[in-house]
Structure 1
C-alpha cells in the first residue's frame, strides 16, 4: 500500500482555501478520512460531506403526520424503544421518506456530530450537508442490497432506504442473519447523489448566512413566491386562488432545489417554515421574521376573506410587525380576527382601517 506523508497542519489549511474558493455548478462530494475531508469523483445537488455510517444509526420511522414540524416533534417517541440511550442524550435528524412510507431517521452521538461540523468548517465546508456514507449508494431493488467496498469496510444500502457500514467480518454476519440477500456492487455513480438524510439539523443546523451563492439565489426566488402566496391568501375576495396555487407550487419546487431532502410535501404553509429556516440572515434577503409571521397571519385571516379585503401590506423590520390596510364589509369581524390571531399565537390590533400583527416567534 502506498503511503503518502503530508503535514497535518498544512493539509487542512490548503483544503479550506481550495474548497472555499471553488465555484461549482453542482455541489461537490467529500468523504471524511482521518479527520480531513477528501474530494471524491461524485456530485450532489449541494456540497455534501460523507461521514462513516458505522457511527450513525439509520432507522425507518413510521410518522403519519401532516407536517415536518410535527414529525420532528414525534420522532423521539417513535424510536425511543429502538435505541440504547435516552432520546435526549443523542442527536436526532429526520430525513426523506423511504419507498415503504417510513421516514429515515439518523441517531448519532452529539460529541461526534460536533466534531464533524468542526472538521467540515476547518476544511472550508461549513455549508455542506453531512450524511452517512452508506446512504450515498443507489437505492436497490426489493430483496437486494447495494454494496460498495472501501478498503476493509463495506457500505450497504437496503431497499427500505436505510443503510449501514461495517468491517467485512461483521458485514458477513449481518448479511447471513438477514437471509443472504442478493448484493449488487454499486459505486456513487455518475448521477447526482440524492440527499436522503442531512444530519445538520437542530443545534447543528448550518448558519443561515452560510448559504452558497446558488442556494441564496434560489431562496430569494422562493421568498418571492411565498410573499405572493401569502398576500393572495389574505385577499381571496379577488378570486386569485389559482395564482396562489401556482406560487405555492413554485415555492415547493425552489425548496426542493435549494434544500434537497429538507422538504418533501406540497403544503405552501409548511414550505414557508422550511424557507424561513434556510433564508440568509443578512444582505438583500427578506428578514427571517417576515416569512413565519406572514404565513401564520395568512392562515389565521383566511376564514375572513369574505369580510375583509386587504388593499396593501407592509412589514416593519424594526418592530417585527405586519400592517394590513383593509376594507371591511363586516365591522363586527374585527373581534373575530383578533381572536383568530391570538389562537395562532399572534397579537393583533386595529388602528383605524389598518390591522397590526406582531408576535411572530413560534
Structure 2
C-alpha cells in the first residue's frame, strides 16, 4: 500500500527542523521562510527579484478549481509542524487553519509587508507577494533601491548620510512633552508602553534591531491614561523605506493619524490593525520640495501625527492635542528641507534614490 505523502514528507520536515535549529535554537519566521524559498521544495514559492527582497507565496483558496491539498497547503502545513501547532497522527488535517496561522504570522511580523499591487489573487494559480523589510545582515544604513533594478537593494555605502532611515519621535500626554528620542535603527521603531514592553521582553526577548520608543509611566493621578495604556500593549511599528515612511498598528487600541498621505484632512484617518499603511511618499516629498525651491510653492509636508485611543482630529470645540499623541518626523526629510533653505538647492546624492518607479503601498 502506498504511503501517505504527508507522512513521507513528515520525516523530512523533522530532519530539516533539527538541522536548521542547530545550536542556535528555533528560527524566526523570516529565517525559516527564506530557507524554504531557497530549498525549491514548494511549487510557486520563489523570489521575485534578483536582490531577494521580494518573494511570491502560492495562495490558492480551497474552493478554487484544481485545488490539491497536498501541494497547495504544503507550505502552510510545514509551518504549523515547525511551530508545534500540528502533530502528525494526532491532530486533524486542517489546511484552512494552517493557512490562517501563516497569514497571521506574516501580518504580525515586523520583517514583512504585503505588496498588494503585485499580488494576483484572481488567476488560476493565485499568489501573494511580500517584501522583506530588512536584510538581516546588520547593515546599519538605509536600504535604497537601485535605479537600474527597481526591486534590488543598494548597500548603505551608496549613501552619504546614515540618518536616511532615522525617525525623530516626540511623545505627548495632554499636550505635555514626556519623551523625545531619535530612533537610529534601520529597521524602524516600535512605540509602546514601558511596562507592557518590558513584560513582553521577559517572555519573548527583545525584538531584534527594532528600536523601542516607550510611553513613560503616567502620573499617579492620571487614571484615564493608566486605563488606556494597556490597550496599546503591542504598540505601533514605524519605519523608513525607499518609498517613504510606513506604519503598522499591532495594538488593540485604536490609533488615528494625520500626515502627507492622509486621505482625509478634516476627519479622522484610522490605522487598521495589522495592515501596512504608507504615511509619506519619498518621490512626492522631493517633487514638492523642488516645486517649493523653483516655483515658490508651499513647503512640503513631512510631519506625521499619531493619536492613541481617541479620534483625531476631534470636534472643532476640542483642543488640537489629545490625551496621547506622537509627533514623528523622518530625519531625511527634515534635513533635506533645512539644507534646501540654507543652500537654495537639492543635495545631489538624493536624486538617484527616486529615479526608479517605486511600489506604492496604500492604506
Give the TM-score band, short-chain normalised.
under 0.3
Q: Which has the larger radius of gyration?
A: 1
Task: State TM-score, norm by structure 2.
Answer: 0.27
In proportion to residue count, which structure has more helix?
1
